[in-house]
């Protein structure tokens, strides 16, 4: 199965990274306020933007599929230590997206804290590799 990707000039990773940083800050603020919907939504978008930034930085491409799950495969192909593990974290984070964005159900505090932790780890990993 072919994954739709789009070529992106490598220097444009900075735009995706700026979004990741802002979503990360929003996630941490919402967590401190115990606003679990906002924290989870920011965690999800932090993860998406972090993945886009790292894929553009190292490969000059990002997933252009409507399915965020396809970004999982693109991330796994990034030639950086830990990419496969981070791709698994990413797919777990994305798994909560429909609940948070489109359902009248809400994530529990436990679910929210788990997703926040995973998004924080993915963000920190990306930050480490983008500072090289």
pTM assigned to the model: 0.90
100: domain CATH number is 1.20.120.330
Average pLDDT of the chain is: 88
Q: Write out pLDDT tens, residues 47-89.
A: 999 999 998 999 888 876 677 677 777 788 888 989 989 989 9
Model confidence pLDDT, tens digit, residues 101-116: 887 888 899 999 999 9
Helix residue ranges, H only, 1-105: 13-32, 36-59, 69-76, 83-94, 97-102
Higher pLDDT, 66 or 29: 29
Structure token digits, residue 86: 């981070």
Whether residue 84 lies inside any domain: the answer is: yes
What local confidence, expressed as pLDDT, does residue 112 receive? 94
Lowest average pLDDT, out of 44-48, 92-96, 110-114, goes to 92-96
Task: Please name every residue paired with 91 in a beta bridge, in sequence order, or none if there are none.
Answer: none
Sign for the CA dihedral angle at 40, 123, 84, 54 comes to positive
Residue 2 lies in a domain: no
Q: How many CA atoms lie within 13 A of 24 on its CB side?
A: 21
On whether residue 65 sits in a domain, the answer given is yes
How many domains, the chain?
1
Tell me how far CA of residue 6 lies from CA of 40, 64, 65, in angstroms. 27, 6, 9
């Amino acid at each position: 199965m072919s994954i739709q990707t789009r070529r992106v000039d490598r220097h444009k990773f900075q735009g995706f990274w700026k979004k990741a940083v802002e979503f990360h800050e929003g996630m941490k603020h919402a967590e401190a306020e115990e606003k679990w919907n906002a924290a989870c939504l920011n965690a999800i978008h932090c993860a998406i933007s972090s993945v886009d930034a790292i894929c553009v930085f190292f490969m000059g491409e990002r997933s252009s599929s409507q399915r965020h799950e396809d970004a999982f495969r693109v991330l796994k192909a990034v030639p950086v230590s830990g990419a496969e593990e981070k791709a698994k974290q990413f797919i777990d984070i994305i798994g909560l997206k429909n609940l948070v964005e489109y359902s009248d159900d809400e994530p529990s505090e436990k679910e929210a804290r788990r997703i926040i932790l995973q998004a924080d780890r993915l963000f920190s990993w990306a930050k480490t590799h983008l500072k090289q």
